[in-house]
Amino acid sequence: MAPVLLQVSHLSKSYGARRAVDDVSFQVRAGQTVGLIGPNGAGKSSTVSMVCGLLRADGGAIALGGASIGIGRCEAKRQIGFVPQDLALYEDLSARQNLLLFAALYGVKGQQARRRCDEVLDLVKLRERAGDKPATYSGGMKRRLNIAAALMHDPQLLILDEPTVGVDPHSRNAIFDTLEQLKALGRSLIYTSHYMEEVERLADHIVILDHGKVLADESPAALHLRLPAQAALRVELATAAPAAWLAAIGALPGVSTASAQANTVEVLLADSGAALGVMAYLQAQGASALHFATARTSLEDIFLNLTGRSLRD
């Protein structure tokens, strides 16, 4: 097993009477990608800010490579690269000038900085636009340049806070390609996102926060064991299913729950063989199925099961 790179122990933070982070502990191993997810107000941003040393913790400890991290200057912070949700770029400088400026902030200068600049521009596929200003970039290109800036000092741990907000599918895939290359190079990542499919694709360990507490700290495989349903059936009908159908399907053997979104019926199955019974019932009711598919229970299903389905501000 790879050694522990980051250790977060019993972290806490309050804002007045509100406890935003409450006894949070987790770790990131060398070469590991940890998905940090939770509803709005769960404590993700506060936790990430404390890990980066940007926010003072009320209690607990953070160590990177065995060295303590807190407010102020410390050598351990040089091993962290932070990609904030809000773009941190200078619009009146070229992409290359932006990167050289961020490198200088970490003491990387001269030939070493120029060489590193070329490396990260190649990594994020922006070498041909290195002389252009970010003002001329698309939203996805700016996001990729934001990642490049966080990599200029060659950190061991890269923390990304919602790095695909507002980008198109092509740019999102380009960001994923970059992060998967970093994983292949042995870099450790913390990835926060509201998009469950992104976390499922990238993370090999997942931490779920809610109300400032850790609800889960497990591998994706272990998380899937949290729900009794390990399979799902989705059926698109020509017309919406009556409530009586959903109730009857929910009572069938091997069915955990049945719900509908518009004309699509979604059934969580404790036994994948129960899908045949569901289809037989729909056929007996004269339902016209336009499309159906089986799938494993998604991370979103698990997330909602742990945190609840009520809307958060």
Print the domain residue range for 44: 4-224
Question: CA–CA separation, 292 vs 99, rounded Å?
Answer: 49
Based on the number of CB atoms within 10 Å of its own CB, is 127 exposed (0-12), middle (13-18) or buried (19 or more)?
middle
Asked whether residue 124 is domain-assigned, the answer is yes
What's this model's pTM, rounded to 2 decimal places?
Answer: 0.79
Judgement on whether residues 145 and 236 belong to the same structural domain of the protein = no
The least confident of 34-38, 119-123, 197-201 is 197-201
Please tell me the predicted confidence (pLDDT) of residue 311. 47
> Would you say residue 177 lies in a domain?
yes
Residue 305 is assigned to a structural domain of this protein? no
Instruction: Determine the pLDDT at residue 60.
Output: 96
220 and 135 assigned to the same domain: yes
**Arithmetic mean of pLDDT, 260-289:** 90
Q: Is 161's pLDDT higher than 70?
A: yes
Considering the domain architecture, whether residues 165 and 250 belong to the same structural domain is answered as no
Inter-axis angle of helices 139-151 and 169-184, nearest 10:
20
Would the pLDDT of 229 be above 70? no
pLDDT of residue 186: 92
**Amino acid symbol at 155:** P
Q: Is residue 65 part of a domain?
A: yes
In this structure, are 52 and 161 located in the same domain?
Answer: yes
| Mean pLDDT (the chain, rounded) | 90
CATH of the domain at 255: 3.30.70.100
**Do 238 and 97 fall within a single domain?**
no
In this predicted structure, what is the pLDDT of residue 248? 96
Domain finish residue from 176, 198, 224:
224
Give the pLDDT confidence score for residue 227 in this predicted structure: 64
Pair 259, 210 in one domain:
no
Residue 308 included in any domain: no
Residue 160 in any domain: the answer is yes
Residues 96 and 213 in one domain: yes
Within this chain, do residues 145 and 196 fall inside the same structural domain, yes or no? yes
Residue type (1 letter), 227: L
Q: Confidence band (pLDDT; 50, 70, 90) for 303?
A: confident
Q: Over 80: is that where the pLDDT of 48 sits? A: yes
- Structural domain contains residue 311: no
CATH number at residue 97: 3.40.50.300
Same structural domain, 219 and 115: yes
Verify that 255 and 163 share a domain, yes or no. no
- Whole-angstrom distance, CA of residue 125 vs CA of residue 247: 52
What is the per-residue burial (b if ≥16 Cβ within 10 Å, else e) of 196-231? bebbeebbebbbbbbebebbbbeeeeebbeebebeb
Using a pLDDT cut of 90, give the percent of the chain over it: 68
- Say yes or no: 202 and 99 in one domain: yes
Q: Is the pLDDT of residue 312 over 60?
A: no
- Where is the domain boundary, 182, 207, 224? 224
Q: Number of structural domains, the chain?
A: 2
Do residues 220 and 241 share a domain?
A: no
Q: Which residue has the higher pLDDT, 270 or 275?
A: 275
Residue 230: per-residue pLDDT: 59
pLDDT of residue 291: 92
Confidence band, pLDDT 50/70/90 cuts, at residue 250: very high
Confidence of residue 75 (pLDDT cuts 50, 70, 90): confident
Residue predicted with more confidence, 257 or 72: 257
User: Quick check: is 312 in a domain?
Assistant: no
